[in-house]
Amino acid sequence: MKGFTQIKKNQILFMHIIVWAIIFLLPYVFNTWDEKGETSSVDPYRSIKTVTNFLWMGLFYLNAYVLIPLLFYKRKYFQYTLVLFASFCIIMLLHGALFKPFVTGRSFNFVPSSVHNIIPFLFTIFVSLTYKTLADRMQLEKEANERKQENLKTELSFLRSQISPHFLFNVMNNIAAMVRLKSDELEPTIHKLSSLMQYMLYETDEEKVLLQSEIENLQSYIDLQQQRFSEKLKLYVSLNVKENWHAIEPMLLIPFVENAFKHGTGIVQNPEIEIELKAENGKLYFIVKNKFIETETIKDKTSGIGLTNVKRRLELLYHNRHHFTINKRDNWFTASLELTFKS
């Protein structure tokens, strides 16, 4: 980031050099004609104008980096005008001091010379003011965008930190039940949990992961939950992914399934969960359905965290590129997501 900032500064410096070089060299591009219609190699007025351009350049930067921040931005307009007037008088005095060495045979006249130079003076002030205000506005917008990005990263990290403990809590409960039952599936279950923890601790720190990686860990989570409920739960899973190379926000799909197991089991009679995932034509379609009891009142302290966080993360990361709906009908809870991948 520091190197990029230095490159931008070098580009701005190069642009300033080019602009001033054009201003200084422009008078020399055109030939000067004398009274006989012949070209003249020496033009004393052109020479003094070249030297005076250095004064305009100094005024440009004095106004941009000193007078505007100290006076104009602080609305000290009267003092600002006085300083500009004094600057113009000083420039004209210096211009007069340079007049005699460059122009022979003529004496310097302050009033006509001031009238002649008032337009370059006002033009320099105007361009300097425009440059400074635009540059400062762009800087403020840049800082605002940087703060927005930092706030976004902070909020996303906070949302992920809410999801992970809830997820681990349910998985550890599964393992505890298997230990009590002395199940032969304990060892493969621990391997799956180890894989999931590795995914959560390392890969979820990335902004994006491959869809294939998210699906593999989603399948591991489903397997762990299926081991817990065994034949008590009717589970239908269809993961039809034709395009698994897309990138996706990590831990985005698991909360859908986590929510279904959380509220679609327990006191629900004949629990059923349906999970369908498709990825084709640059889009992801994900539907999770579970039976639930309308009058359910028993909820733990973490109820509702999963899908609430998913909704917020979708708004932050996939704004205008997703469609997320929740539907409750005939004792079935359906969470549906349609998401367009970036091309």
User: Measured in Å, how far apart are the chain's first and last C-alpha atoms?
Assistant: 26
Burial class (CB in 10 A: 0-12, 13-18, 19+), 98: middle
Q: How many whole angstroms separate alpha carbon 173 and alpha carbon 320?
A: 38
Both 52 and 199 in one domain: the answer is no
Residues near 63 by beta carbon (within 8 Å), at least 6 away in sequence: 84, 124, 125, 128, 129, 132
Half-sphere exposure in the Cβ direction for 314 (13 Å, CA): 22
Residue 173 within a domain: no
Both 187 and 284 in one domain: the answer is yes
Q: How many whole angstroms separate alpha carbon 142 and alpha carbon 199?
A: 34
Both 66 and 129 in one domain: the answer is yes
Residue 236 within a domain: yes
Residue 229 within a domain: yes
Both 300 and 251 in one domain: the answer is yes
Residue 218 within a domain: yes
Both 137 and 268 in one domain: the answer is no
Both 230 and 285 in one domain: the answer is yes
Both 138 and 205 in one domain: the answer is no
Both 190 and 100 in one domain: the answer is no
Both 128 and 52 in one domain: the answer is yes
Q: How many whole angstroms separate alpha carbon 136 and alpha carbon 113?
A: 34
Would you write out the chain's pLDDT as a tens digit for each of its 343 residues?
A: 444 455 566 777 777 778 777 776 666 665 544 444 444 445 556 667 777 778 888 889 999 999 999 999 888 999 999 999 999 998 888 877 777 766 666 677 777 888 888 888 999 899 999 999 998 988 888 777 766 665 566 555 655 555 556 556 766 777 787 788 777 777 887 888 788 777 766 666 667 889 998 898 889 888 877 877 777 889 999 998 888 889 988 888 888 888 888 888 878 888 899 999 999 999 999 999 999 887 654 444 444 456 777 788 788 788 889 999 999 988 899 999 999 987 6
The owner of tokens 């979708």 is 314
Q: How many whole angstroms separate alpha carbon 3 and alpha carbon 7?
A: 6
Half-sphere exposure in the Cβ direction for 137 (13 Å, CA): 6
Both 66 and 139 in one domain: the answer is yes
Residue 150 within a domain: no
**Domain final residue, candidates 144, 171, 205:** 144
Q: How many domains does the chain have?
A: 2
Q: Among 291, 287, 290, 289, which Cα is nearest to 337's?
A: 287
Both 219 and 294 in one domain: the answer is yes
Q: Give residue 239's Cα distance to chain centre.
A: 33
CATH number, domain of 213, equals 3.30.565.10
Both 296 and 201 in one domain: the answer is yes
Residue 219 within a domain: yes
**Domain final residue, candidates 144, 169, 201:** 144
Domain that holds residue 111: 2-29+41-144
Give the pTM: 0.54
**Domain final residue, candidates 122, 144, 166:** 144
Residue 84 within a domain: yes
Q: Kindly report each contact of residues 49-54 with a partner whose C-beta sits within 8 Å and lies 24 or more positions away, as own/partner.
A: 50/24, 51/98, 51/102, 52/91, 52/95, 52/98, 52/117, 53/23, 53/24
Residue 73 within a domain: yes
